Amino acid sequence: MRLIGLFLLGCFVLFGAGQANAQAKFYQCDNKMYLHLDVVILGFPCPQNGNGSEVSTQVGVDRIIAALDLLAQQSPDSLNTIKRLKKAGPVIIIYDPSYPPKGQNLTSIQQALFLPTFVEKFDQDKTGKKFTVIVGHNGIKQSLQTLAAVLVHELMGHGTQHLEDRILAMRTLDVECEAWLLEEQVYQDLSVDKLSRDMVLFRQNLEQIHCSDFIHYMRNRVPDQVSLWDEKDPDVTKLLNIFKGFLKAQHAKGIISTALAAAQKQRATAIQKVARKGHPNDLFNIGKMYMAGIGEQVNPVEAAVWYEKSAVKKHSGAELALAQMYENGQGVKRNLKRAVDLYVRAAKQGEAEAFYALGVMFELGRGVKKDLKKSQALYARARPGVDTSPLVTFGIMYNDGTGFVQNVKKAHRFFLKAARLGHKAAQFELGLLLEQGLGVAKDITLAASWIKKSAAQGYAPAQRH
């Protein structure tokens, strides 16, 4: 296991109790990265304005590791499924103490969320599949057995559906029924008390809500098998085999295609309504839907149309997204002058990523006259609003081949962005790549410059280099 963080052995002796307490809190709450059982486990920082009830980052990732160990010992089939996912792409479990956000009603996904597109927020390369689960501050507080079952629900359930390209071709009810059945199997593997209040509630939700249509199908098509549900520990393997027939029957009757067509029609009606009302945030969200392929095929051209509608109404996020499209020629004809104009508009509204993008353009002389002084000033404006820690984490993962297929070119891109924004570890790592010519042309002078900047910020490895 590799950990990104601070090791505090002997800190009371070195710093005194007051400073040691502050250092210990930092250690508990800063970014973490582990590789355990071939699963990447990331810990995001504790919220700055937390109420003190949150489980710290370090404790959170420790609990996830313990939950995986529990599955390895008592539910080996679960780990075998995770290994299967791993062959198709990285498996990542993130503990985010700030999820779900305050004031957001997410009753169905408060404990955890399967979000395969999460990494694309930082890595625009969409090749291959990624299996990412975010565990929130509610999920991490559950018993170790429940946490393990939640991980199986998300990875074995939704992860496998994503792997087999089934998740978008199923009704939401059926997607959840399958995942809940797999969760039931884990509770059996872990010998959980089925008469406890929580397990009684779990079983009620399983039968009366998530698998209600499936049970209705069984009563009509395989009535002799309905008695499986009468058992305290139903035979999940048999139920899943019957479930396959249930899905086939739905396809044969056109139930799924009808449901998907109805959903498509509902989306089309909603889009028309948004277009009529013209609220900039709604217009922007439709652009994101087309860009990400949520409920629709990925369509950058259509996304640009909606971003334009929103940008006209001065939506800063739309201005930023549209600027990126014009800079890269994605969905629109490449136009650096237009990109700069949109970046400026977004920056004036406080978009940190727009300040950064302008900094790069002035550094490279892309669409503007090269001006390193202005570039540095723009990076300084961007710095408070861009979280560089995930950039460094993903840079290290790609550089080391931790969880991802090793790709030093990608590592260089992550380190470069974080280094420009002043992250001392990234500056050092970037210097090493330049020094060795890994993922980038060898440049000893530039390497020394970055390592010197890192050392000036007190980064010990750079100072020793």
CA 331/CA 291 separation, integer angstroms: 9
- pLDDT confidence bin for 28, thresholds 50/70/90: confident
Number of Cβ atoms within 10 Å of the Cβ of 456? 12
Specify the pLDDT at position 272.
Answer: 67
Share of the chain above pLDDT 70, in %: 84
Tens digit of each residue's pLDDT (9 = 90 or more) over 216-252: 999 999 999 999 999 999 999 999 999 999 988 877 7
CA 319/CA 287 separation, integer angstroms: 12
In this prediction, residues 40-62 reach a mean pLDDT of 83
Tens digit of each residue's pLDDT (9 = 90 or more) over 142-155: 999 999 999 999 99
Q: What is the mean pLDDT of the chain?
A: 85
Peptide bond connecting 100 to the previous residue in cis, omega within 30 degrees of 0:
yes
Tens digit of each residue's pLDDT (9 = 90 or more) over 258-304: 544 544 555 566 566 666 677 888 888 888 888 877 656 788 999 99
> Residue 45 carries which DSSP code?
P
Which residues, including other chains, have CB under 8 Å from residue 312's CB and lie 6 or more apart?
A: none
- pLDDT confidence bin for 308, thresholds 50/70/90: very high
Of 246, 237, 167, whose CA–CA distance to 212 is shortest?
246
Measured between its terminal Cα atoms, the distance across the chain in Å is 24
The model's pTM is 0.76
* Ranges 187-191, 212-216, 330-334, 392-396: which has the least confidence: 392-396
Question: Residue 386: what residue type?
Answer: V
CA dihedral 307, 308, 312, 315 (to 10 degrees): 20
| CB-count exposure of residue 9 (10 Å: 0-12, 13-18, 19+) | exposed
CA 218/CA 233 separation, integer angstroms: 18
- Comparison of pLDDT for 298 and 406, the residue scoring more: 406
- Token code pair at residue 70: 């529990």
CA 423/CA 454 separation, integer angstroms: 8
Question: Residue 77: what residue type?
Answer: D
- pLDDT confidence bin for 16, thresholds 50/70/90: very low
Check whether 57 has a pLDDT greater than 70.
Answer: yes
Specify the pLDDT at position 344.
Answer: 96
- pLDDT confidence bin for 253, thresholds 50/70/90: low
Check whether 51 has a pLDDT greater than 70.
Answer: no
Tens digit of each residue's pLDDT (9 = 90 or more) over 332-353: 999 999 999 999 999 999 999 9
Specify the pLDDT at position 226.
Answer: 95
